[in-house]
Amino acid sequence: MAIRNIVPDTDEIMHKKCRPVEKIDQKIITLLDDMIDTLREAEGVGLAAPQVGVLKRIFIIDTMEDPQEFIEFINPEIIETSGTQEGSEGCLSIKGFEGHLIRPMKVKVKALNRFGEEFIFEGEELMARCCCHENDHLDGKTIRDTCEYEVFPEDE
């Protein structure tokens, strides 16, 4: 397990579409383990594979529960959304930037876990926001591209 460098959004890799994972091999398992270490160290809520320089459709989220638990999404698909929420978001790849975004209040995400088993995650509020944010990274989109406007801390 290792902490990987987080790629800034100025790097072109952050603006490319990621490819699906075809086989969950040892390289993917190591990537997942390293992403967990990296997210824990960075104290973020979610992390997508392109943020550590890998153009694969993978993201992880910290459920913000106690004890700390991470959910791994391989080849995720947002299959249902409902409601809306508005608020500011930051990104580990864009230090010092916050954007105002409108997101669904609830999402259902279908994905594979590291054992290749399909599961459906239902997230609300922060978890819904986080799934949408990380899923956008897999399509090369960051909050700088998708936010309504930049939020400056003194405005809040």
The site for Ni ion (CB under 5 A) is made up of 91
The CB-of-32 to Ni ion minimum distance in angstroms stands at 17
Tell me how far, at minimum, the Cβ of 22 lies from Ni ion, in Å: 25
Give the active site residue among 117, 134, 154, 156.
134
Rank residues 91 and 151 by Cβ distance to Ni ion and give the closer one: 91
CB of 122 to Ni ion, least distance (A): 21
Q: Which is nearer to Ni ion, 74 or 91 (CB)?
A: 91
Peptide bond just before 67 cis, omega within 30 deg: yes
**Shortest Cβ 37–Ni ion spacing (Å):** 17
When the beta carbons of 102 and 118 are compared against Ni ion, the nearer one is 102
Q: What are phi and psi of 60, to 5 degrees?
A: -130, 155
Which of these, 16, 82, 83, 20, lies nearest to 53 by C-alpha position? 16
Nearer to Ni ion, 91 or 132 (CB): 91
Nearest CA to 109 among 100, 99, 118, 97? 118
Q: Is 41 a catalytic residue?
A: no
Which residues are within 8 A (CB) of 138 and not within 5 positions of it... i.e. 6 or more apart? 17, 18, 48, 49, 50, 57, 58, 59, 76
Provide the CB-side half-sphere exposure for 149 (13 A, CA).
4
Which residue of the chain is nearest Ni ion when measured via CB? Answer: 91
Catalytic residues: 134
